[in-house]
């Protein structure tokens, strides 16, 4: 099999690149180990807790024991299905803050400042404000990715935003526009009641061109001849086959599998490759380093009124919601139910938000376990810019073996200070007047957990990944020894090879990672095609005028 471009991974960035390359008349083969994304578990937005807990759709990875979290091994889902993690995620749409991308550029990712990436965010979007206001001049109107807002019918969504305002925080009607900071409506990749994954937005239209083919199989190594990538070896059953790339090989296999595939192919830290008997083609010590994530807790409150989603937590109600969704595409099944949010700064002297809230009118975990208290609601909260860094390394030279994933969570004093502050600021919001008609008591951490030690114990036992891994193949200047790709997404040290997914983020962005991952695919496609980047924007983000001296 042969095509101009061979893309490893049909995920958020891979689908976007396949679409843009096909649009430009190029032939593309996309290698994907997972299967079809058809069926209600993926396509029904409210069913989001199912696919990320199903081995059919998830790689099933777990972390190594995390020393600061009572040696717990945390689940680390990644999509093994068409659409990749955009087919199993929570569908929350957050671009990130302008300053995140300015930081990328300052770290050596030249051409990736906010002014450079905003045009790509606009190109990829069709934005629907639902009549709720927003920042149309900052948004896209004709892109493949539909972005919508939930109906916010439950009064708790409004109570959360009002409580934030009563606490003295900003209100924003579009955190993806000029002003991220504040409380307001959440956005989701849902369109006409369906999950609008990268497979629905990009891959299906690309397949219709006839220039894109999908090959089911496990990419086991990149074929490199005379320091040039010429194809990909794929395992299908017992016999490997070679898929040849006429122009380039593009890796877009996730923050876990992209570094793994590079290392299996001889690109990575020389000593680590030698330990596994792999011949070194390019000694790149940054491969698998710089792993980052968002860690969060579910701050849960018991409700004094039976108005939460718990009233639907029974087999009959679930069946009714599912049937309504199947027939009409509407109802509770048509939203991820994350419909209000907040972005705040943890203290004076922080220039832009470093805490994110996901509000949910239900006390439940991602694995679908409801709080024993029954009716309740919760805010997912955690720091956005942890200084801790982890690693992805090989467990074995066998491509079927899972990589070793070690996030090294909470490994600095700053992590603990930031996380305690998150909990105390969240507790304060739930005490505001807007919540008084609805609050019964605090479920967790529990109102008696007030000292630093008590909060630290709670964090150790209850913090979970927000499933935002990134950074393991950092983008930077070609002379940066820890950079893995240059600002054109070319793998340094090997010709004909690019890498574009969340692995290349120099630092994690502020919020959920699906939107910036798709943006990376969009922008990388222009670099691959040798096109001039879209003209830079000159829009300036809103920054709190008193950020140096005030927390809110």
Indicate which residues carry an active-site annotation: 468
Number of helices and strands in the chain (H, E): 13, 23
Residue 490 DSSP label: B
| Tokens linked to 271 | 């000593």
Find, among 201, 20, 17, 2, the residue nearest to 93 by Cα. Answer: 201
Distance CA 448, CA 514 (A): 37
What 3-state class would DSSP assign to 64?
coil
What is the 3-state composition of the chain as percent helix, strand, coil, each rounded to the nearest 5? 30, 25, 45
Tell me if 213 sits within 8 A of 28, measured CB to CB.
yes
* 90 is annotated as contributing to ligand binding: yes
Distance CA 94, CA 509 (A): 9
Beta strands in 345-470, from DSSP E residues, in sequence order: 355-360, 376-383, 391-393, 404-406, 439-444, 464-465
Which three-class secondary structure string do you get for 103-117? Answer: HHHHCCCCCCCHHHH
Query: Could you give phi then psi for residue 364, rounded to 5 degrees?
Result: -150, 155
455-467 as b/e, with b when 16 or more CB fall inside 10 Å?
bbebbbebbbbbb
Find, among 363, 359, 373, the residue nearest to 308 by Cα. Answer: 363
What 3-state class would DSSP assign to 156?
helix
| Tokens linked to 342 | 């907040």
Q: Kindly state the helix (H) or strand (E) to which residue 249 belongs, with its residue range.
A: strand 239-251
Q: What does each C-alpha distance from 278 to 188, 284, 398 come to in angstroms?
A: 43, 14, 11
Tell me if 254 sits within 8 A of 78, measured CB to CB.
yes
Q: Kindly state the helix (H) or strand (E) to which residue 23 belongs, with its residue range.
A: helix 12-23
Q: Kindly state the helix (H) or strand (E) to which residue 146 belongs, with its residue range.
A: strand 145-149
Find, among 265, 272, 268, 270, the residue nearest to 286 by Cα. Answer: 268
Distance CA 229, CA 242 (A): 12
Q: Kindly state the helix (H) or strand (E) to which residue 518 belongs, with its residue range.
A: helix 514-528
| Tokens linked to 102 | 């300015």
Beta strands in 327-468, from DSSP E residues, in sequence order: 340-344, 355-360, 376-383, 391-393, 404-406, 439-444, 464-465
Q: What does each C-alpha distance from 452 to 348, 419, 457, 551 come to in angstroms?
A: 20, 10, 9, 20
* 392 is annotated as contributing to ligand binding: no
How many degrees, rounded to 5, is the angle at CA 138 between CA 135 and CA 140? 105
* 223 is annotated as contributing to ligand binding: no
Q: Which residues are annotated as a binding site for FAD?
A: 81, 89-92
Q: Which residues are annotated as a binding site?
A: 81, 89-92
């Amino acid at each position: 099999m042969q095509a101009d471009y061979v893309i490893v991974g049909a995920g958020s960035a891979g689908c976007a690149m396949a679409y843009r390359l096909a649009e430009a008349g190029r032939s593309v083969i996309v290698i994907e180990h997972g299967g079809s994304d058809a069926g209600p578990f993926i396509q029904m937005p409210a069913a989001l807790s199912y696919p990320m807990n199903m081995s059919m759709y998830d790689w099933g990875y777990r972390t190594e024991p995390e020393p600061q979290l009572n040696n717990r091994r945390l689940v680390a889902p990644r999509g093994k299905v068409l659409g990749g993690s955009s087919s199993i995620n929570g569908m929350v749409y957050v671009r990130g803050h302008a300053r995140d991308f300015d930081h990328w550029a300052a770290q050596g990712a030249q051409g990736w400042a906010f002014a450079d990436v905003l045009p790509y965010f606009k190109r990829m979007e069709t934005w629907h404000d639902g009549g709720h206001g927003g920042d149309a001049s900052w948004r896209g109107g004709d892109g493949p990715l539909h972005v919508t807002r939930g109906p916010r019918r439950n009064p708790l969504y409004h109570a959360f935003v009002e409580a934030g305002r009563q606490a003295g925080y900003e209100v924003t009607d579009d955190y993806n526009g000029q002003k991220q900071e504040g409380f307001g409506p959440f956005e989701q990749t849902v369109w006409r009641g369906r999950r609008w994954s990268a497979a629905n937005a990009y891959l299906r239209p690309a397949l219709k061109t006839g220039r894109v083919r999908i090959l089911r199989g496990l990419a086991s190594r990149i074929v490199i001849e005379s320091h040039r990538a010429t194809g990909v070896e794929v395992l299908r059953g017992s016999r490997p086959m070679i898929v040849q790339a006429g122009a380039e090989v593009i890796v877009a296999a996730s923050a876990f599998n992209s570094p793994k595939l590079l290392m299996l192919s001889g690109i990575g830290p020389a000593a680590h490759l030698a330990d596994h008997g792999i011949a070194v083609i390019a000694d790149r010590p940054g491969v698998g380093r710089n792993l980052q994530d968002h860690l969060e807790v579910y701050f849960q409150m018991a409700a004094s009124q039976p108005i939460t989603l718990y009233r639907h937590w029974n087999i009959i109600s679930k069946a009714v919601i599912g049937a309504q969704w199947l027939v009409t595409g509407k109802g509770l099944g048509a939203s991820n139910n994350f419909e209000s949010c907040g972005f705040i700064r943890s203290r004076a002297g922080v220039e832009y938000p470093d805490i994110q809230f996901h509000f949910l009118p239900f006390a439940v975990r991602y694995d679908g376990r409801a709080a024993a208290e029954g009716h309740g609601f919760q805010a997912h909260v955690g720091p956005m810019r942890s200084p801790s860094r982890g690693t992805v390394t090989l467990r074995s030279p066998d491509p079927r073996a899972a990589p070793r994933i070690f996030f090294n969570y909470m490994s600095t004093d700053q992590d603990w200070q930031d996380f305690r502050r998150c909990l105390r600021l969240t507790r304060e919001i739930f005490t505001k007047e807007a919540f008084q008609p609805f609050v019964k008591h605090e479920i967790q951490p529990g109102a008696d957990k007030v000292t630093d030690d008590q909060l630290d114990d709670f964090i150790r036992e209850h913090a979970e990944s927000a499933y935002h891994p990134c950074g393991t193949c950092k983008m930077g200047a070609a002379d940066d020894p820890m950079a893995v790709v240059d600002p054109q997404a070319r793998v340094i040290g090997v010709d004909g090879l690019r890498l574009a997914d969340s692995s290349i983020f120099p630092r994690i962005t502020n919020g959920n990672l699906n939107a910036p991952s798709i943006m990376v695919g969009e922008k990388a496609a222009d670099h691959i095609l040798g096109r001039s980047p879209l003209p830079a924007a000159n829009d300036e983000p809103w920054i709190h005028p008193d950020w140096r001296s005030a927390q809110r």
